[in-house]
Amino acid sequence: MDVTASVSGGALGGLLEFRSQMLDPARNALGRIGVALSEAVNAQHGAGMTLTGALGGDFFAVGDVQVRAHASNAGTGSLSVQRIDGSAGALTTADYVMTHTAGGWVLQRTDTGATVPMTGSGTAADPFVADGLSIVVDGAAPVGDSFQIRPTAGALAGLDMLITSPEDIAAAAPIVAAAGSGNTGTGAISPGEVIDPANPALRDPVTITFISATQYTIDGDPTVHTYTPGADIDVNGWRVQISGAPDPGDSFTVLDNSSGAGDNRNALKLADVLNQPLVNGGTTSLNGAVGQFVGDIGVRTNQVQVSRDAQEVVYDESVEALQSISGVNLDEEAANLVRYQQAYMAAAQMIRVADTLFQSVLEATRG
C-alpha cells in the first residue's frame, strides 16, 4: 500500500518532501545534462579518426528510460520507451504518467499535471512521439491502466565510459583538404568537416576543379556548379567551403587523412561540445545548464535555510510561552511553602486553643 500521500509532517514527511521537491528534480536535471553530453560527444567522436585510422565509436553510455507499471494495473500491457537519437534538446526534467483512457492513451507531466501532446499511434512501426521520447505499447491494457515514465532519472546511474585505450580516442579528422600545387588564383579551401560518418564513400578522394572563375565541377558529378565564395560544398558525407578567387583550372582535393598524427581537429570539436546549445530545446549550452542547475540548488537551499530559521523562531517562542504557563519558579514556590507552613502552624495553634476551651467546658459541667 502506498502511504506517501498520507505522510505530511515530522521527520518522515520532511524526507519525502525533500525527495519530491529537491532530490528527484535534481536527479532528472543532471540526467538530462548527462544524456545531452553523451549524445553530442558520441556523435562528434564518431566523426573523428583514431590513431589506428578507424572512425571513432561511442564514447559514453547512459542509463535507459525507467518505466514502471502501476501496481493496480489489470491488463497485460507494457510500454517500451526509448530516447530518440539526436533529440536530447527536446527532453525535459519532468517525469510522466501515461494512462489508458476511454479516449485513448494520455501522457501527463507529474510536476504540473499538464497533458503532453503525442504524435503516432503507439505501434512499433508508428510509435507515440513526445518530448524526445519514442513510446511503443505492447499487449492489452484496459481503461484505467497507467505507467510511470522517467526519461532521465536513471541516466547518470548508468553512465559509463566506453573508451578504454588512448588509441581509441578519435582526435583527428578522417579527411584532409588541400589546394592543388599548380593553382594560380587566390582560392583557399577549409580543412573540412564530417557531417555523415556512415557514408561509405566518406574517405574516397574527390577533386573539385574550376572551369571558370564562377563555375566548378566535382569528380563523379556531371553537374556544373555555380561558385559562391564561402558556401557549403557537401559531398560523400563531408563539407568544405572555398573562398577567394580561384582561376580557371585551379583544383582542390579532399581525400583520406592517412596520417592523422598531430591532427587535433576533432579533439577541438569535442571540447567545444560544452558550448553548444544542446538542452532546453536547443537554447542552452551544457555549461549554461550546469550553471542553471547549481543556481537552482543554491536558491532552494537558501529557501530551506530561511524556512528552518523561521521555524526555529516559532519553536522557541512556543517553548517560552509554554514555560511561562506551566514552568516552575523556585523562588515563588519557596515563598508559597513558607506561607503555607505559617498558615498550618496558625491553624494548629487555633485547634489547641479550641481543644483547651472545650476541655474547660467539660470540666465545668462535671462540677
DSSP state of 98: E
Residue 328: band (very low, low, confident or very high) from pLDDT cuts 50, 70, 90: low
Using one digit for the tens of pLDDT, what is the confidence trace for 48-76?
Answer: 999 889 999 999 999 999 999 999 999 99
Q: With 0-12 CB in 10 A as exposed, 13-18 as middle and 19+ as buried, what is 49?
A: buried
Taking residue 134's Cβ as centre, other Cβ atoms within 10 Å add up to: 18
DSSP state of 119: B
Cα–Cα distance measured from residue 207 to residue 230, given in angstroms and rounded to the nearest whole number = 17
Residue holding cell 501532446?
117
Binning the chain into helix, strand and coil, the percentages to the nearest 5 are 35, 25, 40
What's the confidence (pLDDT) of residue 367?
54
Residue 3 has pLDDT above 60, yes or no: no
Compute the mean pLDDT over every residue in the chain, rounded to the nearest whole number.
Answer: 89
- Residue range 129-135: average pLDDT? 97
Per domain, the residue ranges of the chain are 64-153, 175-256, 332-367
Q: Are 141 and 77 in contact (CB under 8 A)?
A: yes
Q: Which three cell numbers stand for residue 206?
A: 574527390
**Alpha-carbon dihedral angle through residues 229, 233, 238, 242, given to the nearest 10 degrees:** -20
Using one digit for the tens of pLDDT, what is the confidence trace for 7-40?
Answer: 666 677 667 777 777 788 889 999 999 999 999 9
Cα–Cα distance measured from residue 123 to residue 169, given in angstroms and rounded to the nearest whole number = 38
pTM for this predicted structure: 0.76
| Chain centre to alpha carbon of residue 23 | 11
What is the number of residues in the chain? 367
Q: With 0-12 CB in 10 A as exposed, 13-18 as middle and 19+ as buried, what is 173?
A: buried
Using one digit for the tens of pLDDT, what is the confidence trace for 196-221?
Answer: 999 999 999 999 999 999 999 999 89
- Beta bridge partner(s), residue 161: 60
Using one digit for the tens of pLDDT, what is the confidence trace for 139-157?
Answer: 999 999 999 999 999 998 8
Residue holding cell 580543412?
191
Residue holding cell 501522457?
107
Residue 1 has pLDDT above 60, yes or no: no
What's the confidence (pLDDT) of residue 48?
93
- Give the DSSP H or E segment for 194: strand 193-194
Using one digit for the tens of pLDDT, what is the confidence trace for 280-312?
Answer: 888 888 888 888 888 887 887 787 788 778 888
